[in-house]
Amino acid sequence: MKNHHHHHDYITSPNNDPCLKTVVTITGNDDAELTKREITNKVIPAQYGIRIKDTVKLRDGKFMINFKSPSSKQKFENVIATDGRFQLNDSGRPLPTVHLKGLNMAYEEEQIPKLIALYNPEITKFLEDNRMEAASAIEIKKKRQNPAKPHLCNVIMRVRPEIRNLMINELHGLINIEYSYIHIEDMSPLRQCYHCFGFKHIAEYCPRKDRQYCLHCGGEHLMDQCINREEAPTCINCRMEGLPNHRSHIAISRDCPVMLRFMDNNLHRRKYQLTEFKFAQLNVNKSPTAMTAFANFSESKSIDVMCVTEPPIRKTISNINRRLNVIYCQSNEPNGPAPVRACICVLNKRIQPIMISHLSSSDCTVCQLGSVIIVAFYAQPYGDMSDNWTRITTIAAWAGVKNLIVTGDFNSDHQIWFSHATNNRGCDLLTTFIQSGLSVVNNTDTPTFDTIRGNQRLTSHTELRKNYAHNFFNSQDMWNFH
């Protein structure tokens, strides 16, 4: 292992006091507690005369140490620099990391920065204007052979922000290296372990090293030993979280809701902002044909979320096409599992839903979509409704300052939501919503349930409300009701 001498130009405050903080990271690790433990094993402060004021665990595996003197800071960094696993940074903001994909394997690592500078005039100009060497602006972190195409490799590089901007934006993600144009993209900070397929760590630091999980079925064996290869795949992460669509994909799928949620939390540059939220609600009366028509309508109108009551079911569970990303909960009744009567379909894949299982039941699906809580609710036409009203009050209290949308078929009539008449259930429901700080925001009298039974036409209207506690949206004009 090579020992490198590091020279630091200390960041100074307005009164010219040096910055006494160092942020430490470990390559491939996003767990700050693990970083702390590794530092503890590497550096004993009393042994080196290092005086520390305090420490702070940061996001993405960063661990910050605040020293009492510049000499203590320098001693610490000299010791830690002898171990190539550790990365040091004064500001806590590491340089951007980019991923070069499909480079010829024959190139040596030290050649790559020079060739990038030589064949891309925009980058050459930046280096010349700033009197920088290519190797100091473009640092090769890792070169990995492509297992599918052994003559090619992928290269991970840490670059100056200005260089990253030129590569991604000015050069449109194509780098010229000896007249071959190589694709380059931002490196995702999301780490996934290829041992257990969990997130925020890599296989070297896997907490479950004693087990090997199958990528196809999630069992404790290697994938090439899997006897379930002919069956539908199982995502181990979705299965562990109890998500209903865990049999539709493998753990490394970019459509995995668990992966998408982690990416949404880590990649702020890709984070989807809910500036307009379009949703539709309908009671499909258990009809597969009506469900298909509703899905086609929603997709044609670019609906983000479908709230469905009385969905088609098979063996008491929702029987809806997996591509609609259906979310539901099934509760138990004295006679066995209750049929699912309310569910939510998230059509916009940029929205990462989290089902709130302790508030959900077969008749009520509660999901969090960023700062918005959305509820699909079904109340049966007859019987005591007090438990239903209590559930709504509980959901509203749990939502707190988050935005709350409640949609559903409550079988309750009130002229406020455009019913032709008002009954006692409608009055009780309205009272429940008012006491919970919610308000009716329907702007249409189109029924969400409309069918013929016998010789009688039956209709019902959506009860749709918004929590006033936190005004996430600037105006009600941004809500779209269908």
Q: Which CATH architecture has domain 97-186?
A: 2-Layer Sandwich (3.30)
pLDDT-based confidence at residue 50 (cuts at 50, 70, 90): very high
Q: How much is the pLDDT for 196?
A: 85
430 in Cβ contact with 464 (< 8 Å): no
Task: Please give the Cα distance from 467 to 482 (Å, whole number).
Answer: 19
| Residue range(s) occupied by CATH 3.60.10.10 in the chain | 272-481
Flag whether pLDDT at 98 surpasses 80.
Answer: yes
Residue with tokens 């008491």: 316
Q: Is the pLDDT of residue 6 over 50?
A: no
The reported pLDDT for the residue numbered 188 is 60
Enter the tokens of residue 50: 């290092």
Q: How far apart are CA 38 and CA 40, in angstroms?
A: 5
Evaluate if residue 219 carries a pLDDT over 60: yes
What phi and psi values does residue 21 have, to the nearest 5 degrees?
A: -110, 140
Pick from 61-65, 85-89, 168-172, 400-404 the range whose average pLDDT is largest: 61-65
Token duo for residue 145:
């052979």
Q: Are 305 and 274 in contact (CB under 8 A)?
A: no
Rounded to whole angstroms, the Cα distance separating 138 from 152 reads 20
Who contacts 401 (Cβ-Cβ below 8 Å, separation ≥6)?
A: 469, 470
Q: Give the burial class of 44: count Cβ atoms within 10 A of its Cβ; 0-12 exposed, 13-18 middle, 19 or more buried.
A: exposed
Average pLDDT in the chain:
77
d(Cα 407, Cα 376) in Å, to the nearest integer? 5
- Inform me whether the pLDDT recorded for 480 exceeds 60: no
| Strands 326-327 and 403-409, bridge-based pairing | unpaired
Q: Are 25 and 62 in contact (CB under 8 A)?
A: yes
Angle at 260 between CA 255 and CA 264, to 5 degrees: 150
Q: What is the pLDDT of residues 172-199, one digit of tens each?
A: 778 999 998 898 877 665 677 777 888 8
Higher-confidence residue of 247 and 287: namely: 287
Question: Is residue 31 over pLDDT 80?
Answer: yes
CATH, domain range 21-89: 3.30.70
**Averaged over 244-259, what is the pLDDT?**
76
Pairing of strands 364-369, 277-283: unpaired
Q: Mean pLDDT across the stretch 416-443?
A: 79
Cα R_g (the chain), whole angstroms: 28
**Does the pLDDT value for residue 230 go beyond 80?**
yes
Stretch 60-68: mean pLDDT: 86
> In the prediction, which pLDDT does 113 show?
94
What CATH number does domain 272-481 carry, 1.25.40.10, 3.90.1150.10, 3.60.10.10, 3.30.70.270?
3.60.10.10
**Nearest by Cα to 458 from 473, 468, 448, 466:** 448
CA 427 to each of CA 365, 410, 414, 430: distance values in angstroms, whole numbers, following the listed order:
23, 12, 7, 5
Q: What is the pLDDT of residues 437-472, one digit of tens each?
A: 777 766 555 555 455 555 555 555 444 433 332 323
Token reading at 216: 């196809």
The dihedral formed by the CA atoms of 31, 33, 34 and 36, expressed in degrees to the nearest 10: 130
pLDDT in tens, 143-152: 988 766 789 9
Whether residue 354 has pLDDT greater than 80: no
Percent of the chain with pLDDT over 70: 80
Task: Please answer whether residues 257 and 241 qualify as being in contact, where contact means their C-beta atoms are separated by less than 8 angstroms.
Answer: no
Whole-number Å distance between alpha carbons of 427 and 429: 5
Residues forming CATH 3.30.70 domain(s) in the chain = 21-89, 97-186
Give the total residue count for the chain. 482
Q: Please give the residue that has the higher pLDDT: either 40 or 265.
A: 40
pTM as predicted = 0.43
Closest CA to 349 of 435, 260, 223, 429: 260
Looking at the predicted structure, is the pLDDT value of residue 272 above 50? no
